Every structure is written in C-alpha cells, then in structure tokens.
C-alpha cells in the first residue's frame, strides 16, 4: 500500500518544475519534450565527468557507516541498514574495478563510539565479507562524527602525500554525540588535506555542510534508494587531485603469477603473507605471486608487501586505471540532419532516430546517444579510433 | 541596476531583483504620488528595506520639493543599524553610478545610553541613569551655576558642541550610531545633541517608533520635522500596542510610596530655597501668570520631561491660580496622592471612565479638572526652578503628574481599572491602578495628520483591512505581496489530531487533558527525530508551557526527546534566556541538534531570527490567544466594538493569528532558507483562522495539509526536508524568483508582476 504513492512521488520528483519547458508539438503531444528531458539528463552525466583534469589515482578511502538507532528506520526497504550495506557491497566492487590500485577501509559508528570494521586494504573480498556479517548487528544509540573522523585520521595521516586521503560518511542520524569541539577537528582535517564527503539519509545537517565545504568534499542527501545508489556511484570516480599534492615516483613491483602443479617435485607448499595475520582459510598453497624484491608470497593483488613495503600490482590493474588519466573526450553533439548520408550508428549499427547524434572529434564516426553513454562509461575508448589504428 | 518605475529612475544597488520588490516599489510610488498613506505587507527576507530605501531616495532626488525627508521608524537598535547599512550600500552605489558626490545626509538617532561618549556617564548601565546623569551635567541652570563656581563637574562634549557645533552643519554622509560617536569623539562634540540637532536638516532619519508615537518624547525630538516627510513604520504589526502603551499609565502602591518621598523632597527644597533665594520663586510665579508659552522657551537640555498629552491638546493658557505658587502646588500634589492612596485601598475591582474619576476626585478632595490638566506642565516648571540636578529620582512623581494630566485631558478612549490583587494570587494584596488607553488611533493620529505619507509595512499584516480600522485612517494603497519561489521552501502543516485521533487543541476545556498533552509530546518527539539541527517550539503562555513540560517530564517524553536533541527553555529572565539562546545556537552549529521551547509574545518570538539551521522547523502548540480574562483587554474589546464596529472575536482571532504568524515566520528569513511551519491545533484548519494568516503562508497551505495526524505530518516533513536538501543554486532562481535587468524588462514578466500585488 505504501509502495504506490511513493512511486508516484518519485516520478514527480524527477520532473519537477518541468512545465516551463514543456511545449506541445504540432500534434499536441508532449511525448517529444519528455524524451528531450530524459535525454538531457543522460547527457549531463557524461559531460560533467569530463570536467576534471587531474585525478587522484591512488586513493585511500575510509567509509564511515552510521549504525545508530536511526538506521532501523524503514523508509528504505527493508530498513536503512540492510539497504545501505547492500549498496555498499556494490560500491566496493565497483570501486576496485575502477580504482584497482586504491584501498578502502570501513568504520562503523554507534552508541557514541566508532570502530573499524575493516582496516584500510585493497582486497574487496574481505570488505564484502565484513559487510555481509554486519547486516545482523544491532543499531543502538547515537553516532559520533568526531570519534569516527578521529579514527579515520589516525590511519590516513600516515598515507603518503601523492595519494588521496578521503572519508565518505553515510549518515542516517540527525544528531551526533561528540566528546570535543568538532570545529577543531575540521581544521585538522583541512590541514591534513583529508577530503570528507557525506551522504545523508534523512536531511541536511549543518555540521556536515560545514565539514564538506571546509574539506572540499561533497554533500548530498538521498531522495530514495535509486538516488542513493547514484550518489554512491559518484564516489567511485576518483576525485580531482588537489594541486598541492606531491608528485613522486613510486616503486612498484609486477609479480608474475606462478602456477605449479602438485606433480612438480621441486615446489613445496608455502604460506601466503596475507594469510599470516588473518589466520583463517587454507594456509598452505602452492602457487601465487612472489614479490620481485624479497620473494614473499601473496595470493592476491594489489597489495603492499609486508616484508619490503613494495607496492605489488598487476599490469592489467594499472592499465585499467589509465583511462582516468586520459579520459575519452566528449563527443560533439550535432543535429541529425547534418548526417543525412550516414544514418546508422557506427557502434550498434542501428538507425539514428534521435534528434541529435554524437561524433567522435578524432575519427568523426557518428554514434547514437545510447552508444555514446556506453562508450564513455564502460569502454573508455572510441571503438572506431581503435579500429582505424589496428587497420593501418 | 537602474530601474524605471513608472517613469522614475530608481537606482537599485544589487545586480538581481526579486519580482515582488519591483511590485512593492510600484505600489510605494503610487502611494507617494497620491501623497497618501499606505499599508504594505511583504514577507521578511525579500528585501523590503532596500526596496523602500531605493524608491524613496530616488523620489527625493527626482522631486526634492515634494518629499524632503524620510523618517524611518524601526523597533530595535539592531534593526536600526541594519537599515543604515542598507542605506550605506545604496549611497555607495549612487556614488559609483553617477560619479558625483551627493550631499545626502542620513543618520540614526537613539537614546543617550547608546550615543553618550562621556567616559563616566556612558559607563552607567541603565538608560534612566544615563539620562539623569547627563541632565545633571548639562542643564542650563547647572551650567549657569558653573559661571560662579568653576569647580562643578562639566560635560566637555556638550560644552564644545554648544560653543561651535551648531554653526557647522554635519557633513553629508551616512551615519550609524557608531559613526556618530566617532565623529563626536573626533570633534569633541556630544553625539546625542549633535544628532538631535542634525535631524532637522537631514534627508533621512532612522529612529525608534517612540520618537514619533510617544508624546512625551515626540514633542522634544520630532517637533520640527517637516510636513513633507515620508514616514515609514517597519515591522509595524504591533503598532497598535505601541500606541496604547505610550499613552497608558500603571500605578502601584510602590509608585505612590516613592512619590510620597519625592513630594517630601520637593517641599524641603522649596523651604530651603525660600530662605536663601525667595526671588527665584517669585520669578517663577510671574512667569506662570504670563502663561506657559514663555516658560517653553527653555534650553533644549532642560526639557527633560515633556507633556504626556498630544501637542494639539496642550492648553496655551496660564496656569490656574490654585497651583501657581510652589507650596500650593506641592500641597495639591499631596492631596492628589492621598486620594490615589485611598483609591488603591479598595477590596474589589473598580472600573470607571475618566469623567467618573474626575467627578469622584472633585467630590472627595475638591480637585478641579483644570489644575489637573496643568499638573505635568507645572511639575516641569517647578523642577526647573528648584534646579534639581538628578531628575531620574523623580520618576514616580512625574508618572503621577502625567496621569493627572492625561486623565483630565481625555474623556474618551481611556478607562481606569483598579485591581486590589492579581487574578492568579487572590490572597496577596497588590493593588494596581491601570489607566489604560483603549484607542491606538489617539497616539498615532497626529502622525497621520502631520505628515503627507505614512507607510505601514511588515512581514505579517494580515488581514490588511483591520489596521486602517483600528488606527482610524484612510490609506490610498493596501497591498499584500507573496514570495515568488523557485522551490517551495516553506511547508505549513496543520496538525489537528494525534495518532490516536484525539483532537489537538489548546482551548481552555482540553488544556489539562492528559491525552492532548501526551499527543503534543509525541509530536515534538517525532519531529525531533526527523528534523535536523534546530527546532523552535512556541507555547501560548509561560504557565501553559510549564504545565506541559512538567507533564512531559513525568511521562518520560522529555527523556526520549533528549536522545535526539538538547532542550532549552525561554524564561522570563532576560539573562537566562540569552544564555539559553547562545547554547541553543551552539548545539545547532555542531550537529547535536536542539529544541528551544519558548512562548508566543515573548522576547524570542518577536526579535530573534532563526535563519537556516537555527530553525528548520517551528511548532506552534495551540492558538496564542491573549489572556481573555484581563479587564484591560475586555474594556478594549468593548471599546473596539462600540467605536469601530469590530467584533470581539474578530479582534481576538486577528491578534492571535498575527502572533502565530510572527512565530512561524521566524524560520524563513529569505529565499535560500527553508523550514517547516507546524500549527498544532485543529482550530487552525478553520477558515476564519486560516484566512487571517499572511497570504504568503496561506497560499502554501493546500487542502491536503489541513487536518493531519502526527504520523502524516512526519511523513510529509521527511519528504519536504529531503527535497530541500538537494543542491540549490542561484541559477535555479534566476528568471523565476530572481531577475536580472533584462529579464525584468521583458513584456511577459512585467505583466506577471503587475498582477502580483494583491489589492484589498
């Protein structure tokens, strides 16, 4: 029963104040303008993402999840906590997909305290497992912004200067219980160049506005679950690097994965370094990644070598981060009439039905709106350019 | 930007303008053109002040002969300062645009307490003390005495001003209180007298209501202001009460005791003087025989006490013989005092009209009407003759003589009520004599008669037509403007029922009802969980608030609320309240969140703004009716019915709704602000109440938000708050509720604007 009016509101929310732009076409139909609005909103996302120039590639992000009493509110289904954790799992996956050489840690705050759910680490599986476990935890008391920020700083301040230091807070409560003046802490955050962003689940809270404004983060409040997801995904893309961040050369190791079979007599099973502290799981394995510097063994990449401190990544990881540095240029939008001779999209080979088409500035291939989105959001390179390059 | 308002070139110091500002200026110009009075309602935060100033200044420049002066009356010192700052911005814009230095003089005037720069005098805490001390340094006879005895203390600032300040006019410019003080310090002149002298030739004067409405002050300060002035009363929704207060007198037993002392002192002083300087008394006698006119030619510093009645009522005749000599007058005062004491000894409530009182006083102690009328004048003369330096001590006898003059001057529109005890504490004797003015039009009438245009404006003046009726004037324009909004940033909700369907109401019968109190508590609890930062809750009275809060405490509701937000309470103690306010703001600032429990008609509801996060929601518990059992109110209602044909209920509802509107209006102070307005009483849903809210609130109350339960209100609030938290930039407003010059000039927009003013 509750679902239906909610739906109606969502629909309305998307088209707020659109009556000014709505104009009937010759046949008196509004369809054209509605489509126009939809199309515009899609385009906006693409062009916006290209505004950035220099990006922080190696990110250190702490996600603070509010687990206070207000997370039991059922305006997100089944409740705020479950919904948030579910979305977080998707976020973690997407985050590591887009930022393979970055790290994430999770902090939860409830009952005026903050505690680490996971340490800062580059392994999505561990985070997701922790998130899955957290669903059953109870939500009690008030959150503490101060304590969670404090806890995050303790680790983040040791991170090297060329990496980004970020905190993302998912705040459901409208109140925070702080042991000291938060304004001082905001100043510290600013001086440490920690970027704090907040996603509010209920309403705009003043202290978050100040916090994000001072530290250069963003502050958004969700409207509903789909909006929540969209806002989370905003944080997947690396933020523009601040000009003051140091540039430095980083030593990196590219270990080869050695696969061995039990039949090989020379090989002995060995411990993976990453299993040493976690303790659980199959301890002795045969193959793995071996650090080129000290020969320590790891089962997963990317990781920082526990022995010699070398950052170990695989080449494909680095390549995937590459597109952030050289984003694909936005395609040029022009009315379809200019392309009378070329009525098919170069990518999907479908007929160009939209009013506007998009052309790659380099190879001048024409694409439809849908393909444009796909190219910019997933492929990150123009298929025609690549095709031409291989052809020649 | 430069605007063309029906042929008048108006400089407007901002790049953007709200459509309603343009509309407001149009209406204002029409008022000035017609040389008539106007009533204009425009919501707060839409730039009323700057619209007023821009238009009137432009008008003054265009028609220097038609409008010579703008008198801008505001309520408090901070408001006065705000007006001066806006004016400064406007003048800077003028200078930049026209490139010429204009010779505009604008200044603000306040009491000695705010303007004094004398090191000792200005350190005193109370206004009365400062006035008294100043008088003791600057009165003409003190200064005359100093010629004989140079050791007497002196205010060098006044002396300096008196010596040279009058010849040199104040240089053109904009002066706020601090500027005046700086200027005074630099020149060594007294800023207070400088300002009082300068307002005569200033183009714009900004001061408090009292300088025009209270006859005791108006006669001193505003007497010589030109007729061709435009008078603006800002925040004028309470103007009728200001008028009434300025003409009313309350006398308690303590006043009479202190008066007795005063009279004794007077007698002793007369004795002393008689022995030393009898000629002086004879001289005074001679002057009084010749008439009051001559006695008025005193120095400005001497006129400390003015006549409490309005200028056209002051008799221009000689003081009657029976009180001409000093001893006779003191005897007369004594008799009058004894009579009052006897009257205060009553055991039951007495209410009588002024003629009845006069007849009674004549029968009992043979005091005639005529000498009573001269009482204030005569006392003033006596105090001057006796060269009493510290006049502040004589406030009690001044009050009594003011009363005497008032009661014998006005036979209509006043009532005398003697109450032997307060209604709440019938066992404790605390007799009070209320001499109460019931007709606000008496005090404001000279203002309407004297000045060519008087503009009454405020954010909440609804219903507009009642003001001309109670103030008894005929406006040429009456208009109400709404806020054009790019997003609906206010959300008025009328909560009429609890979740258990119990009707919520503060009406007398259900006031003690447990279910209602519990539901009110529930409402606050639920709202405290969904509204971020600050919530301000208003109750109808202190007693009601105390009862409810005590009951909430017992039910454990307070404890639950405190999990969400801290709770602060306004009390009758000003220091405590300002402390609570400070902490409240701190809690809103650092994310803890807070609730301020306060009272409609209290300090918080009138003067404090809760911008942005300081007030995300205002909850009005109940309808803030005035205490209807008060006899003064009853008398006033009766008078209104007889004289102005306003029904009691209409007036009471009007009064309650304007206070409710004031309270909820605290939260929205501009177009980027947003807030919930929750009316928690089912009576608000009725059209006679709803219809009296300002139009800018009314138009956002749709039928769906009329009789909500607590739960429904919470759902709506949640949705509203999320909507409002979405990013809102200036571009979103442009062209809709914020216009550039080009947009303003478009045909379509002009048409829209012309329909905007809601004429009544």
Closest Cα in chain A, distance from residue B613 (Å): 6
Residues 669-728 of B with CB under 8 A from A: 718-719, 721-727
User: Quick check: A174 and B588 CB within 8 A?
Assistant: no
pTM of the model: 0.84
Closest chain B CA to residue A205: B532
Q: Which residues contact B131 (CB under 8 A, 6 or more apart)?
A: B111, B112, B113, B304, B391, B392
In angstroms, the separation between the Cα of residue B737 and the nearest Cα of chain A is 13
Q: Is the peptide bond before B463 cis (omega within 30 degrees of 0)?
A: yes
> Which of B194, B336, B133 shows the shortest CA–CA distance to B251?
B336
Chain A nearest C-alpha distance from B712 (Å): 12
Give the mean pLDDT of chain A: 78
B11's tokens: 């400089």
Distance CA B25, CA B57 (A): 12
Q: By C-alpha distance, which of B693, B686, B706, B659 is closest to B540?
A: B659
Are A142 and B721 a contacting pair at CB < 8 A? no
Q: Does A100 map to a domain?
A: yes
Cα–chain center distance at B275: 48
| B613: nearest CB among A70, A206, A220 | A206
* pLDDT value, residue A85: 93
- CATH number of the domain at A362, please: 3.30.40.10
- Residue B742 has, within 13 A of its CA and on its CB side, a CA count of 1
- Strands B105-108 and B229-233, by their bridges, are unpaired
Q: How far is CA B500 from CA B515, B520, B607, B708, in A?
A: 9, 12, 36, 12
Task: Classify residue A204: in a domain, yes or no.
Answer: yes
Q: Do A166 and A109 reside in the same domain of the chain? A: yes
Size of interface A-B (CB pairs under 8 A): 77
State the residue for tokens 């395609």: A331
Contact between A178 and B616 using a beta-carbon 8 Å cutoff: no
User: Considering A322, A356, A377, which residue would you say is the last residue of a domain?
Assistant: A322
Give the domain CATH number at A106.
3.40.50.410
ipTM over 0.85? The verdict is: no
Instruction: Examine the domain organization and report whether A224 and A295 are in the same domain.
Output: no
pLDDT band at A246 (very low <50, low <70, confident <90, very high): low
My answer on whether A106 and A173 are in the same domain is yes
A15-27 mean pLDDT: 49
Long-range contacts of A239-242 (CB under 8 A, 24+ apart): A239/A52, A239/A55, A239/A56, A239/A59, A239/A164, A239/A166, A239/A195, A240/A52, A240/A53, A240/A54, A240/A55, A240/A56, A241/A54, A241/A55, A241/A56, A241/A164, A242/A56, A242/A193, A242/A216
Helix or strand run (H / E) with residue B437? strand B429-437
Dump pLDDT digits (tens) for A31-68.
555 566 556 666 655 555 554 455 667 788 999 999 99
Q: Do residue A206 and residue B725 have CB atoms under 8 angstroms apart?
A: no
Are B40 and B14 within 8 A, CB to CB? no
Please give the order of strands across the beta sheet that includes A366-367: A332-335, A356-359, A366-367
Q: How many CB atoms lie within 10 A of CB A204?
A: 23
Q: What is the spatial distance between Cα A369 and Cα A39, in angstroms, rounded to a whole number?
A: 8
The H or E element spanning position B91 is: helix B77-98
Residue B382 CA to residue B295 CA, distance in Å, equals 11
pLDDT at res. B381: 81
B727 burial (CB, 10 Å; 0-12 / 13-18 / 19+) is: exposed
Looking at residue A12, its pLDDT comes to: 47
CA–CA separation, A83 and B197 (whole Å)? 72
B35 beta partners? none
* Chain A residues with beta carbon closer than 8 angstroms to that of B726: 220-221, 223
Cβ contact B206:B199 at 8 Å:
no
**Mutual orientation of helices B710-725 and B514-530 as an angle, nearest 10°?**
20
Alpha-carbon distance A174 to nearest alpha carbon in chain B (angstroms): 5
Say whether A204 and B724 touch across the interface (CB within 8 A): yes
A274-287 confidence digits (pLDDT tens) = 666 555 555 677 77
With a cut of 50, list the residues of chain B below it in pLDDT.
Answer: 293-299, 304
Which residues of chain A neighbour B722 with C-beta distances below 8 Å?
Answer: 202-203, 221-223
Residue numbers of the domain that contains A275: 252-322
User: A301 and A333 share a domain?
Assistant: no
Partners of residue A222 in chain B, C-beta under 8 Å: 722
Cα A61 to the center of its chain, rounded Å: 10
Verify that A346 and A369 share a domain, yes or no. yes
pLDDT of residue B750: 76
Per residue in B125-146, pLDDT (tens digit) is 888 888 888 888 888 777 877 7
- Find the residue in A nearest to B588 (Cα): A206
Contact: B592, A75; criterion CB under 8 Å? no
Rounded (10°) angle between helices B574-589 and A206-215: 50
From chain A, pick out residues whose CB is under 8 angstroms from the CB of B589: 206-207
CA-atom Rg of chain A in angstroms: 24
Within-domain flag for A26:
no
Domain membership of residue A171 (yes or no) is yes
Tell whether A42 is covered by a domain: no
Between chains, do B532 and A205 touch, taking CB under 8 Å as contact? yes
Instruction: Quote the CA–CA distance of B321 and B316 in Å, as a whole number.
Output: 15
The span from the CA of B122 to the CA of B76, in Å, is 19
Q: Which residues of B touch A181 (CB under 8 A)?
A: 590
Work out the minimum CA distance from A241 to partner chain B, whole angstroms.
23
Cβ–Cβ below 8 Å for A205 and B533: yes
Minimum Cα–Cα distance from A12: chain B residue = B723
Q: Tell me if B24 sits within 8 A of B51, measured CB to CB.
A: yes
Residues from A in contact with B at Cβ < 8 Å = 9, 13, 17, 69-70, 75, 142, 145, 174-178, 181-183, 200, 202-209, 220-223
Nearest Cβ partner for B721 among A181, A203, A220: A203
Are residues A354 and A274 located together in one domain of the fold?
A: no
Residues B200, B187: Cα–Cα separation, whole Å: 20
Cβ contacts of B129 within 8 Å, gap of 6 or more: B392
**Residue B297 confidence (pLDDT):** 47
pLDDT at B197: 87
Give the nearest partner residue to B592 out of A70, A176, A223, using CB atoms: A176
Q: Do A223 and B726 touch (CB under 8 A)?
A: yes
In this prediction, residue A40 carries a pLDDT of 64
What is the pLDDT, as a whole number, of residue A3? 37
CA distance to partner chain A, nearest, from residue B211 (Å)? 41
Structure tokens at B44: 């707060």
Residue A289 sits in the same domain as residue A385: no
Phi, psi for B615 (deg, rounded to 5): -155, 90
Using DSSP, state whether B65 is helix, strand or coil. coil
Q: Is B591 on the interface with A (CB under 8 A)?
A: yes
* Percent of chain A topping pLDDT 90: 24
Element (H, E) at B588: helix B574-589
With an 8 Å Cβ cutoff, is B753 touching chain A?
Answer: no
| E strand segments, chain A | 59-66, 103-110, 113-121, 164-171, 194-200, 219-221, 252-253, 257-258, 270-271, 284-285, 288-290, 297-298, 303-304, 311-312, 332-335, 356-359, 366-367
Do A81 and A220 reside in the same domain of the chain?
A: yes
Query: How many beta carbons lie within 10 A of that of residue B286, not counting itself?
Result: 11
- From A262, A297, A322, give the residue that closes a domain: A322
B360 vs B61: CA distance, rounded Å: 57
Same domain, yes or no, for A256 and A108?
A: no
Of A9, A175, A183, which is closest to B593 when you measure between CB atoms?
A: A175
The number of distinct structural domains making up chain A is 3
Residue of B nearest to A20 (CA): B736
Is A261 a domain residue?
Answer: yes
The reported pLDDT for the residue numbered A137 is 86
Q: How far is B611 from chain A (nearest CA, A)?
A: 12
Residues of chain A contacting B487 with CB distance shorter than 8 Å: 17
Closest partner residue to B725 (CB to CB) among A142, A177, A221 is A221
Check B725 against A200: CB less than 8 A apart.
yes
Nearest-Cα distance to chain B for A170, in Å, is: 15
User: Degrees (nearest 5) of the Cα angle B710, B713, B716?
Assistant: 155
Query: Residue A108's pLDDT is what?
Result: 93
Q: Which residues from B are below 8 Å from A220, CB to CB?
A: 725-727
Q: Could you tell me if B656 lies within 8 Å of chain A, comparing CB atoms? A: no
- Chosen domain end from A210, A236, A262: A236
Nearest CA to CA, how far is B591 from chain A (Å)?
5
Q: Is residue A13 part of a domain?
A: no
**Closest to B204 measured CA to CA, from B57, B39, B48, B90:** B57
CA separation, residue B279 to residues A385, B85, B273, B286 (Å): 115, 54, 9, 10
Q: Which of A90-99, A214-223, A315-324, B349-358 has the lowest mean pLDDT?
A: A315-324
Which residues from chain B sit within 8 angstroms of residue A200, using beta carbons?
Answer: 725
For strands A297-298 and B204-208, give the pairing.
Answer: unpaired
Residue A11 resides in a domain:
no
In this structure, the number of other CB atoms found within 10 A of the CB of residue A3 comes to 7
Which of A202, A206, A221 has its CB closest to that of B530? A202
| Same-domain status, A59 and A193 | yes
A194/A81 same-domain check: yes
Residues A129 and A225 in one domain: yes
The pLDDT of residue A244 is 57
> Is A17 within 8 Å of B486 when comparing Cβ atoms?
yes
């Amino acid at each position: 029963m509750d679902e239906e009016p909610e739906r109606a509101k969502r629909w309305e929310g998307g088209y707020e104040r659109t009556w000014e732009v709505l104009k009937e076409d010759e046949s008196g139909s509004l369809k054209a303008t509605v489509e126009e609005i939809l199309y515009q909103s899609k385009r906006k996302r693409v062009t916006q993402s290209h505004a950035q120039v220099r990006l922080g590639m190696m990110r250190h992000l702490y996600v603070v999840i509010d687990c206070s009493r207000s997370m039991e509110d059922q305006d997100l289904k089944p409740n705020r906590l479950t919904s948030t954790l579910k979305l977080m799992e998707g976020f973690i996956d997407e985050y590591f997909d887009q930022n393979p050489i970055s790290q994430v840690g999770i902090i939860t705050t409830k009952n005026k305290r903050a505690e680490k759910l996971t340490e800062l680490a580059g392994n999505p599986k561990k985070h997701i497992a922790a998130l899955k476990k957290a669903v059953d935890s109870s939500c009690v008391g008030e959150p503490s912004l101060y304590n969670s920020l404090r806890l995050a700083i303790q680790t983040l301040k040791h991170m090297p200067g060329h990496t980004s230091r970020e905190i993302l807070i998912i705040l459901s409560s409208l109140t925070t219980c702080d042991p000291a003046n938060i304004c001082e802490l905001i100043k510290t955050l600013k001086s440490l160049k920690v970027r704090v962003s907040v996603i509010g689940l209920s309403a705009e809270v003043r202290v978050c506005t100040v916090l994000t404004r001072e530290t250069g983060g963003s502050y958004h409040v969700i409207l509903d679950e789909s909006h929540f997801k969209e806002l989370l995904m905003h944080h997947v893309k690396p933020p523009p690097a601040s000009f003051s961040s140091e540039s430095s050369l980083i030593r990196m190791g590219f270990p080869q994965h050695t696969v061995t079979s039990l039949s090989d007599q020379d090989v002995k099973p060995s411990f993976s370094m990453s299993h040493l502290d976690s303790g659980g799981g199959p301890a002795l394995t045969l193959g793995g990644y071996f650090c080129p510097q000290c020969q320590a063994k790891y089962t997963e990449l990317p990781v920082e070598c526990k022995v010699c401190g070398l950052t170990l990544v695989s080449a494909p990881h680095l390549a995937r981060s590459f597109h952030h540095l050289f984003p694909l240029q936005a395609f040029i939008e022009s009315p379809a009439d200019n392309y009378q001779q070329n009525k098919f999209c170069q990518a999907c080979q479908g007929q160009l039905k939209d009013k506007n088409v998009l052309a790659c500035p380099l190879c001048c291939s024409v694409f439809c709106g849908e393909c444009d989105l796909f190219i910019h959001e997933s492929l990150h390179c123009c298929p025609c350019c690549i095709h031409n390059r291989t052809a020649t | 930007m430069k605007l063309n308002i029906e042929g008048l070139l108006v400089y407007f110091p901002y790049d953007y303008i709200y459509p309603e500002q343009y509309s407001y200026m149009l209406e204002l110009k029409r008022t000035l053109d017609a040389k008539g009075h106007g009533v204009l309602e425009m919501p707060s935060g839409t730039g009323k002040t700057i619209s007023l100033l821009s238009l009137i200044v432009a008008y003054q420049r265009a028609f220097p002969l038609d409008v010579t002066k703008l008198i801008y009356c505001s309520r408090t010192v901070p408001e006065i300062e705000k007006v001066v700052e806006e004016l400064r911005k406007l003048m800077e814009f003028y200078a930049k645009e026209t490139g010429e230095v204009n010779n505009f003089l604008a200044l603000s005037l306040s009491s000695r307490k705010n303007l004094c720069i004398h090191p000792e005098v200005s350190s005193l805490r109370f206004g009365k003390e400062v006035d008294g001390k100043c008088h003791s340094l600057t009165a003409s006879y003190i200064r005359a005495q100093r010629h004989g005895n140079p050791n007497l203390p002196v205010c060098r600032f006044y002396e300096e001003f008196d010596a040279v300040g009058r010849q040199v006019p104040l240089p053109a410019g904009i002066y706020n209180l601090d500027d005046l003080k700086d200027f005074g310090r630099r020149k060594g002149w007294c800023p207070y007298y400088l300002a009082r002298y300068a307002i005569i030739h200033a183009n714009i004067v900004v001061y408090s209501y009292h300088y025009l409405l209270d006859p005791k002050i108006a006669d001193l300060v505003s007497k010589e202001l030109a007729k061709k002035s435009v008078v603006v009363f800002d925040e004028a929704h309470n103007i009728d009460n200001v008028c009434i207060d300025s003409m009313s007198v309350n006398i308690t037993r303590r006043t009479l005791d202190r008066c007795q002392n005063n009279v004794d002192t007077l007698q002793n002083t007369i004795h002393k003087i008689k022995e030393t300087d009898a000629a002086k008394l004879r001289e005074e006698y001679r002057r009084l025989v010749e008439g009051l006119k001559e006695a008025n030619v005193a120095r400005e510093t001497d006129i400390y006490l003015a006549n409490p009645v309005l200028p056209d009522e002051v008799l221009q005749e000689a003081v009657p013989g029976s009180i001409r000599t000093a001893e006779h007058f003191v005897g007369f005062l004594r008799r009058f005092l004894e009579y009052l004491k006897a009257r205060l000894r009553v055991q039951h409530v007495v209410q009588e009209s002024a003629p009845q009182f006069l007849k009674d006083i004549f029968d009992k102690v043979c005091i005639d009407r005529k000498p009573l009328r001269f009482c204030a004048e005569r006392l003033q003369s006596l105090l001057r003759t006796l060269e009493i330096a510290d006049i502040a001590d004589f406030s009690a006898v001044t009050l009594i003589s003011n009363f005497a003059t008032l009661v014998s001057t006005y036979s209509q529109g006043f009532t005398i009520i003697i109450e032997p005890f307060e209604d709440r504490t019938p066992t404790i004797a605390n007799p009070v004599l209320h001499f109460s003015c019931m007709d606000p039009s008496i005090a404001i009438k000279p203002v309407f008669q004297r000045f060519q245009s008087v503009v009454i404006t405020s954010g909440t003046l609804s219903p507009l037509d009642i003001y001309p009726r109670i103030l008894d004037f005929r406006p040429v324009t009456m208009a109400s403007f709404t806020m054009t909004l790019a997003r609906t940033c206010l959300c008025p909700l009328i909560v009429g029922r609890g979740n258990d369907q119990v009707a919520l109401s503060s009406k007398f019968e259900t006031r003690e009802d447990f279910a209602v109190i519990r539901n009110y508590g529930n409402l606050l609890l639920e709202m405290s969980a969904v509204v971020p930062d600050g919530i301000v809750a208003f109750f109808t009275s202190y007693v009601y608030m105390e009862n409810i809060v005590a009951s909430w405490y017992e039910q454990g509701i307070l404890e639950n609320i405190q999990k969400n937000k801290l709770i602060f309470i306004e009390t009758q103690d000003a220091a405590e309240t300002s402390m609570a306010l400070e902490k409240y703001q701190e809690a809103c600032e650092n994310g803890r969140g807070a609730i301020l429990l306060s009272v409609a008609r209290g300090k918080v509801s009138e003067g404090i703004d809760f911008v942005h996060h300081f007030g995300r929601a205002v909850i009005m518990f109940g309808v803030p009716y005035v205490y209807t059992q008060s006899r003064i109110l009853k008398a006033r209602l009766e008078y209104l019915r007889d004289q102005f044909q306003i029904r009691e209920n209409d007036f009471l509802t009007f009064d309650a709704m304007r206070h409710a509107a004031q309270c909820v209006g605290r939260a929205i102070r501009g177009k980027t602000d947003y807030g919930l307005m929750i009316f928690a009483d089912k009576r608000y849903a009725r059209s006679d109440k709803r219809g009296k809210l300002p139009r800018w609130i009314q138009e956002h109350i749709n039928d769906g938000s009329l009789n909500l339960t607590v739960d429904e209100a919470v759902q709506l609030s949640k949705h509203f708050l999320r909507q409002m938290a979405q990013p809102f930039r200036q571009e979103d407003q442009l062209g809709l509720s914020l216009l550039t010059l080009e947009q303003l000039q478009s045909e379509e927009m002009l048409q829209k604007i012309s329909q905007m003013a809601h004429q009544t």
